[in-house]
Amino acid sequence: MKDFSAQVQRGDKIALIGPNGCGKTTLLKLMLGQLQADSGRVHCGTKLEVAYFDQHRAELDPDRTVMDNLAEGKQEVMVNGKPRHVLGYLQDFLFHPKRAMTPVRALSGGERNRLLLARLFLKPSNLLILDEPTNDLDVETLELLEELIDGYQGTVMLVSHDRQFVDNTVTECWIFEGEGELDNT
């Protein structure tokens, strides 16, 4: 990043836009503390609780069922501080109760992403970071994700190449122009 300065406020919904390899994920990792800046500084607020949806998505156990991957054998999950039956919650993410008993290895890529999104939105957070969340999602799941982001009370930062998704979910775009140049308009 060259000569970049920005402040992110509670409730902001920001998209990082630009070609592959221009530094979008690097900026997210700097903000998450997973990378250190060569110069300058990244300052994060206190009491930050981050829910992070990584573009590589390798955190599901393929031998466990959808339900067990989500709730680890429990019948209820906590959603916004309130108990919810696992099957009811999974239905919100378009999983039929029979499909909830399926081992993850038998799921399509889109179904795996829906399960990861279901897990993500269980995490208490005030900062939601989504790195390429629309990859492998069908139209129904895209619409569901848009609704979830719209209803999210915290700050959202996302990377996506899906223009309609970006238009439907964020209020601000940071445009990566290459060579470390960034325009936050």
CATH number of the structural domain spanning residue 42: 3.40.50.300
Distances (CA, A) of 142 to 52, 53, 124, 170: 17, 15, 22, 14
Q: Give the per-residue pLDDT at 155.
A: 95
pLDDT band at 56 (very low <50, low <70, confident <90, very high): low
- Determine, yes or no, domain membership for 92: no
Q: Give the per-residue pLDDT at 69.
A: 95
- Determine, yes or no, domain membership for 145: yes
State the residue range of the domain holding 134. 13-59+109-184
- Determine, yes or no, domain membership for 32: yes
Separation CA 89–CA 157 (nearest Å): 24
Q: Assess whether pLDDT exceeds 80 at residue 164.
A: yes
- Determine, yes or no, domain membership for 153: yes
Residue 68, helix vs strand vs coil: helix
Written as one string, the DSSP assignment of 75-141 is SEEEETTEEEEHHHHHHHTT--TTGGGSBGGGS-HHHHHHHHHHHHTTS--SEEEEESTTTT--HHH
Type of residue at 69: N
Q: Give the per-residue pLDDT at 58.
A: 63
Please give the tally of structural domains in the chain.
1
- Determine, yes or no, domain membership for 162: yes
- Determine, yes or no, domain membership for 178: yes
- Determine, yes or no, domain membership for 34: yes
Q: Give the per-residue pLDDT at 33.
A: 80
What are the tens digits of pLDDT across the range 71-96?
998 999 999 889 999 999 999 999 99
The answer to whether 16 and 24 are in contact (CB under 8 A) is yes
- Determine, yes or no, domain membership for 89: no
Q: Assess whether pLDDT exceeds 90 at residue 172.
A: yes
Q: Give the per-residue pLDDT at 184.
A: 61
Q: Assess whether pLDDT exceeds 90 at residue 24.
A: no
Name the pairing type of β-strands 155-159 and 127-131: parallel
Separation CA 40–CA 91 (nearest Å): 45
Instruction: Give this prediction's pTM.
Output: 0.86
